[in-house]
Amino acid sequence: MASLDTVSIAILLGAALVMAGILSSLLALRFGAPLLLVFLFVGIAAGESGPGRLHFDDVRTTYLVGSAALALILFDGGLKTRFQSIRAVLAPSAVLATIGVLLTALITAPVAKYALSLGWTEAFLVGAVIASTDAAAVFLLVHAQGLRLRPRVGATLEVESGTNDPFAIFLTLVLVEFLSLGQSTPGHIAIEFIREAVLGGVFGIAGGWLVVVALNRVALPQGLHAPFVTTAALVIFGFAQISHASGFLAVYLAGMMIGNRPTRAHNSVVAFLDAATWLAQIVMFVLLGLLVSPERTIASTIPAIAVALVLMLVARPVAVFLCLAPFRFNWREKTFVAWVGLRGAVAIFLASIPLLVGLPNAAVYFDVAFIVVIISLLLQGWTLAFAARQLHVALPRTDKGPRRVELDLPGQLEQQLVGYSVRANSLFLKRGLIPSWSKPTLVIRDEKILSPMEAEPVVKGDYIYLLAPPEKAEALDRFFSDMHIVPAPDPHLLGDFTVPGDVTLGAVAEAYGVSVDDDNAKRTLADYFDIHLDHAPRVGATLPLDSIVLVARSIGGNRVNVVGLRLPEDEDDAPKPPTKVGGLTRKFLRTFSSLTRMENKT
């Protein structure tokens, strides 16, 4: 019975620690503290040196749990990565994730050697352990502080932090093997790296494709799709690892394959993985915190601080500026990418590998990694928002979007039901606009289900459900968000062939001699962009209008407020000469532009 009581106590204490980590996140969000740091301190407080007085030194269990947790975190990151958003930053991200990690480790190594009195290989191992950035740490802080990063900067950080972990793990394992066996050659290391990367890519892409096929062809009971995908990710990871491939690269690529293909129960899978990833991070940080010995760490504090400062202020910036030199990043973007290279669970996890194999000075690697993570989360984590605003890489904050409900439809993958609560100041209610690729299906009012015709007109407080392609569901948000006050257009964008967004298509047709059907004649140019674009409008977006092309020249309040007119170049394709009324309308539009310029100058 005593052994059963021991198991029950372990379950109770483990669950209590995880619950403490979850509840502490509320306090962390209230004060803007890095969440992962809070989870780590929960583990330290429960450990042998803290008030909890729990004795825990099982490095093998920590490594096992940490491997599974990190695999799920990377899989979830890949699941949310869209091909179209990373295509433009794939090259710079790949350079940062490989050469950047190597340069960071090499630049940090001399400081580690002299500050910690280590050999060159051991110092290089210290650099390799702390060289990679932590995706969970970066994006938890970005979202917690309400930041909207410029798309290129955000996508670069996302792909780099998701793909540099496999290279850092490979580098760490190679150095641990060299220190354990005392032999290795550059050729052997290169062959091992190529083999792990290639096989990891093959296993990831093939495994992701098999999961997509299984999801869409196997009739699983309701509720089992998400657990199936989660366990499949761990199967792909384990199979790649025992085949001497990079399991971490494999699960990241598998996540990308699954996330970018239409599958059944996609929304429930994403929601389940969100919860699983949160739990994995909490468990991993709490366990790593339990391994920390504050008394032992004190001896390495000053050298570790020196290593951390060189890493953040010298090694990472130098590596970033060198790696991004061939690409068109300005100095502000490079500086922010350099500063936001937060260290998190991956560094402490890698530092547990020398402990697991029993290397000399293994405790030193672990203590240094722990202190570096603490300093990084405190110094870089708390200044993340300030740095983004000062370097002008943060876009203006938007109000919290509407709550979107997504429901999969059995038997097909092309459409899903998307539901919203209708707000008083929403674009849908004020202007009656809806994208051409969506279709209202039902309305819920006073707990009654109505067809769109029965519910006409839709009023504030109704719940409306629309059919829409799954990949475009997020683009519906702006039609059900509160409308922003649209600022005056930039006068420098106005000219002979630009018009305000509130001009009707009928007026443009008269002025430039193009044909517009009666249904669209009364719509404004801004409305026309809202209806026909399958994403939020951005500068440079184009739409055809008979023989001319409309170009979005300025955006305000998520709507087009200045439109450029691109006329056909060939005489045969030119619009018909405008009528007399059209000429007067064109003069009116040009006069409006001139008055706008004069008003802005005064």
> What are the tokens at 202?
């093959």
pLDDT value, residue 95? 92
Q: Which of 287-301, 302-316, 588-602 has the highest mean pLDDT?
A: 302-316
Query: Distance (Å, rounded) from C-alpha 133 to C-alpha 312?
Result: 11
Pick the range with the lowest mean pLDDT from 21-35, 205-219, 557-571.
Answer: 21-35
> What are the tokens at 411?
């038997």
pLDDT at 443 over 60: yes
pLDDT value, residue 494? 38
Exposed, middle or buried by CB within 10 Å (0-12, 13-18, 19+), for 576? exposed
pLDDT value, residue 490? 44
pLDDT digits (tens, 9 = 90+) for 355-376: 888 888 888 888 898 899 888 8
pLDDT value, residue 107? 94
More confident residue, 371 or 297: 371
pLDDT at 252 over 80: yes
> What are the tokens at 453?
């015709």
Decide the pairing of beta strands 548-556 and 542-545: antiparallel
Q: Give the torsion through C-alpha atoms of 293, 296, 299, 304, to 10 deg.
A: -40
pLDDT at 379 over 50: yes
More confident residue, 206 or 295: 206
Pick the range with the lowest mean pLDDT from 92-96, 349-353, 358-362, 596-600.
Answer: 596-600
Other Cβ atoms less than 10 A from the Cβ of 322: the count is 14
> What are the tokens at 552?
């979005």
Helix (H) / strand (E) containing 559: strand 559-566
Exposed, middle or buried by CB within 10 Å (0-12, 13-18, 19+), for 181? exposed
Beta strands across the sheet bearing 559-566: 498-500, 559-566, 548-556, 542-545
Which domains are present in the chain? 32-40+57-395 (1.20.1530.20), 414-479 (3.30.70.1450), 491-601 (3.30.465.10)
Whether pTM > 0.75 for this model: the answer is no
pLDDT value, residue 592? 47
pLDDT digits (tens, 9 = 90+) for 468-524: 887 777 778 878 877 655 454 444 433 346 778 888 888 887 766 678 887 778 888
* Closest by Cα among 43, 351, 344, 334 to 164: 344
* Average pLDDT over every residue of 4-9: 67
pLDDT value, residue 162? 76
* Average pLDDT over every residue of 277-288: 80
pLDDT value, residue 457? 86
pLDDT at 211 over 70: yes
Query: Distance (Å, rounded) from C-alpha 273 to C-alpha 275?
Result: 5
Pick the range with the lowest mean pLDDT from 426-440, 518-532, 556-570.
Answer: 556-570
Phi-psi region for residue 53, left (φ > 0), alpha (ψ -120 to 50) or beta?
A: left
pLDDT digits (tens, 9 = 90+) for 89-148: 888 988 998 899 999 999 999 999 999 888 888 999 999 999 888 766 676 666 666 667
Average pLDDT, the chain: 79
* Closest by Cα among 211, 258, 225, 261 to 78: 258
pLDDT at 206 over 90: yes
* Average pLDDT over every residue of 330-351: 86
**DSSP designation for 340:** T
Query: Distance (Å, rounded) from C-alpha 600 to C-alpha 602?
Result: 5
More confident residue, 404 or 50: 404
Share of the chain above pLDDT 90, in %: 14
Which residue is listed with tokens 């560094």?
Answer: 347
- Residue 136: alpha-carbon gap to chain centroid: 9
Going by pLDDT thresholds of 50, 70 and 90, the confidence category of residue 319 is: very high
- Under 8 Å CB-to-CB from 168, ≥6 apart: which residues? 101, 128, 129, 131, 132, 346, 350
pLDDT at 34 over 70: no
CB 466 within 8 A of CB 476: yes
Q: Give the torsion through C-alpha atoms of 346, 351, 352, 356, to 10 deg.
A: 140
More confident residue, 44 or 461: 461
Triad 340, 342, 345: Cα angle to 5°: 160
**DSSP designation for 403:** P
DSSP string, 5-32: HHHHHHHHHHHHHHHHHHHHHHHHHHHT
pLDDT digits (tens, 9 = 90+) for 541-590: 888 887 788 888 888 767 787 888 776 654 444 444 444 444 555 555 55
Asked whether the bond before 537 is cis by omega within 30 degrees of 0, the reply is no
- Under 8 Å CB-to-CB from 304, ≥6 apart: which residues? 367, 368, 371, 372
pLDDT value, residue 127? 92
